[in-house]
Amino acid sequence: MQEVTENKEFTPNIVAFCCNWCSYAGADLAGSSRMTYPANVKIIRVPCSCRVNPTFILKAYQQGADGVIICGCHPGDCHYVTGNYYTRRRIALLFSMLNYMGIEKERTRLEWVSAAEGQKFSAVMNDFVKTITELGENKRLTDLRVKEGE
């Protein structure tokens, strides 16, 4: 039993909020171009990165996510013209607040990925998973109810 726990590698739970028009298509392109990104990235499709309510991010953490990444169109390229400009302001404030509350700043990230950037999508996800794996399990934010055997 001891051996099993020791050999068990930590695979982080990553939640990625991807905007329907750019990043989600970018993920699609990454797939169809045979580029890889880790399977533990769970993508949640949202109409626009602006749809991501700060509660979503905190709720993801509470329910056991180890990292949350938000992907949207590049500023100026939003399908809804200005959506991601608002995202940028909101998320900047939220990140700063999470850091102020003493939550590891590496756990949350925002990246602009366009529909043509399959390569970037794959690279960003690989890098993010690597960062979170190094950072370890999300202990500060999880809801005790969703943990097994504790």
Partner 1 sequence: MKEVETKMLERAKELLESGEVARVVGWKKGEFCYDPSPATFESVEELKDFTYDWFCGANLSKYLIQISKKEGKTAVFLKPCDTYSFNQLVKEHRIKRENIHVIAVECRGKFDIEKIKAKGISFVTGAQLDGTQVKVSTLYGEETLEKSDVVLTKCATCNKDYQVQDEAIILHERTKKDVDRFAEVAKLEAMTEEERFAFWREQLSKCIRCNACRNVCPACSCVKCVFDNPASEISAKVNSDKFEEQLFHIIRAFHVAGRCTDCGECSRVCPQHIPLHLLNRKFIKDIDNFYGEYQAGETAEGKTPLTSYTEGDTEPNDVFKGEAK
User: Which residues contact partner 1 by CB under 8 A?
Assistant: 54-55, 58-59, 61-62, 75-76, 82, 85-86, 88-105, 109-111, 140-145
Buried b (16+ CB within 10 A) or exposed e, 80-116: eeebbeebbeebeebbeebeeeebbeebbbbbbbbbe
Least Å distance, CB 78 to partner 1, is 11
Least Å distance, CB 9 to partner 1, is 25
Of residues 66, 60, 61, 70, the one with CA closest to residue 138: 66
Of residues 36 and 75, the one with the C-beta less far from partner 1: 75
Of residues 26 and 31, the one with the C-beta less far from partner 1: 26
Distances in whole angstroms, Cα of residue 37 to Cα of each of 4, 78, 111: 26, 24, 15
Least Å distance, CB 38 to partner 1, is 20
Of residues 31 and 135, the one with the C-beta less far from partner 1: 135
Least Å distance, CB 125 to partner 1, is 15
